[in-house]
Structure 1
Amino acid sequence: MSAMLKLSFVFSEANDRKWCIAKPSTPDAQLEMNIQYVCESQRYHKIDCSAIRPGGSCYNPSNKVSSASMVIDLYFQPEGQTTNACHFNGSGMIVYENPSE
């Protein structure tokens, strides 16, 4: 095992907290589809998206990346923080630092 691979493996084991956010380069149409999928389909979990809706504490219609990041992480966490749960047609990415801090 290479030193880089070993270091990466050790780091990921030591830091088991992960978040899924939207890639900043994602087109608005894809971000909207992600939000709609998470907030309206609710096949697996009942996800409360009221924070990004008008009147919500995180409502900001001019920042779709932020809104999409919030809801896709709400989906990602109960799905076990798996790579597949953060795919969103290639528009999601896993990060190891809390994006809300």
Structure 2
Amino acid sequence: MKGVCLSLFVSLVFFQALNLANGQARLFWCVPLPGVPDAQLQANLDYACGRPDVDCGPIQPGGACYEPNTVASHAAFAMNLYYQIHGTRADCDFSGTANFTNTDPSYGACKYVNAIGGKL
């Protein structure tokens, strides 16, 4: 099983490098799974925004991502930012309540960060 996982990992890294070399970067954002209860999303939001390296200013009143003023919207922004800063697959888990998307969740003036390779 370890050999299969290692082969898969090497293949994914090679594929990503090939995409980058061809100018076709595959971008991913970390977002909550559908149907996650607000209480869990609030816990995710509190965790991400409680980190000193995560700037949750855009989801504060007057910020570009404040509207819609929902726990789900604010959690999505914070969870993605946390993942983009820390950049490992495990950083987009949030106790099994998040997953990756290749569809940019940005809207209007609210721009979700995406850093290829994770680190900003």
Shift of 1:62: 4.4
State yes or no: 1:47 paired with 2:88.
Answer: no
- The answer to whether the aligner puts 1:94 opposite 2:100 as a matched pair is yes
Q: Which residue in the other structure is 2:5 paired with?
A: none
Cα distance in 1 for residues equivalent to 2:68 and 2:46: 14
Paired residue type of 2:84: Q
Work out the number of aligned pairs and report it.
91
> Does structure 1 residue 27 correspond to structure 2 residue 37?
yes
State the alpha-carbon separation in 1 of the partners of residues 76 and 91 from structure 2.
Answer: 13
Q: Percent identity?
A: 38
For 1:49 and 1:67, the matched residues in 2 are separated by 9
Distance 1:23 1:99 in 2: 13
Alpha-carbon distance in 2 for matches of 1:24, 1:53: 23
Task: Specify the structure having the higher radius of gyration (Cα).
Answer: 2
Amino acid at match of 1:59: Y
Q: Structure 2-normalised TM-score?
A: 0.63
The structure 2 residue matched to 1:71, chosen from 73, 78, 87, is 78
Q: Secondary structure at the match of 2:99?
A: strand
Structure 1 window deviating more from structure 2 (50-59 vs 29-38): it is 50-59
Unaligned runs of 5+ in 1: none
Q: Aligned equivalents of 2:34 and 2:99: distance in 1?
A: 10
Cross-structure match for 2:47: 37
What secondary structure is seen at the aligned counterpart in 2 of 1:100? coil
* Higher RCO, 1 vs 2 (CA within 8 Å, ≥6 residues apart): 1
* Distance in 2 of aligned mates of 1:98 and 1:67: 15
